[in-house]
Structure 1
């Protein structure tokens, strides 16, 4: 019987995926933001990322900002964690399927 990962573990896994794909300084900043003492900064950065993600049609801003902002906010708002993990897991699954489909052509 396989044990299902907890919602917190899944959130941490998504953060680690992000940390592996961004420059070292950005990764360090995200790690600092996740500390409990960085609550106010985390909330401000998350709000800006969500706003930037909503306006992703503008140059420089992108859709990538929305999930990161939601991840940061979900760290402090427990009722958002489960639906966010569900959506991000679904997006990850669809992305893998799409990549495999493109590679098989």
Structure 2
């Protein structure tokens, strides 16, 4: 019996997740370098115990938009962080990425100012 997948590596994501990951990486590449590094670090599976509390705190901070510094901008960041671990938020993020791909494809293009 031949198989293309290793028996030791569980397959946890569907084929659609390849599109999801490509779209996520395209958006992350549009961010400033320090933010790219931070998100890449946070998205690693072993960072789950940092990512989940940070995602929750960002969403709570977004609900307190009436305070200085905090704002509605924090809610999508919280969803992005929680989408790595919670299926409900992953579906929201997939829908958002698909919407961006349809409505603003230029946001997903490679940067012309590549370093």
Matched, 1:31 2:40: yes
Shift of 1:6: 2.1
**TM-score (normalizing by structure 2):** 0.60
Task: Map Cα deviations across residues 57-93 of structure 1 (whole Å, 9 max, x no partner).
Answer: 2211122211111111111112332234325644786
Flag the structure with higher helix content. 1
Superposition pairs for residues 60-71 of structure 1, below 5 Å? 60-71=69-80
* Structure 2: unaligned runs, 5 residues or longer: 1-14, 106-115
- The corresponding residue for 2:91 is 82
Structure 2: distance between partners of 1:44 and 1:18: 21
Superposition pairs for residues 3-22 of structure 1, below 5 Å? 6-7=16-17, 9-10=19-20, 12-14=22-24, 16-21=26-31
Contact 2:55/2:82 (8 A) holds in 1: yes
**TM-score (normalizing by structure 1):** 0.65
- Residues 13/91 of structure 1: CA separation in 2 closer, same or farther (3 Å cut): closer
Moved over 6 A (4+): 91-96
Choose 1 or 2 for highest CA Rg. 2
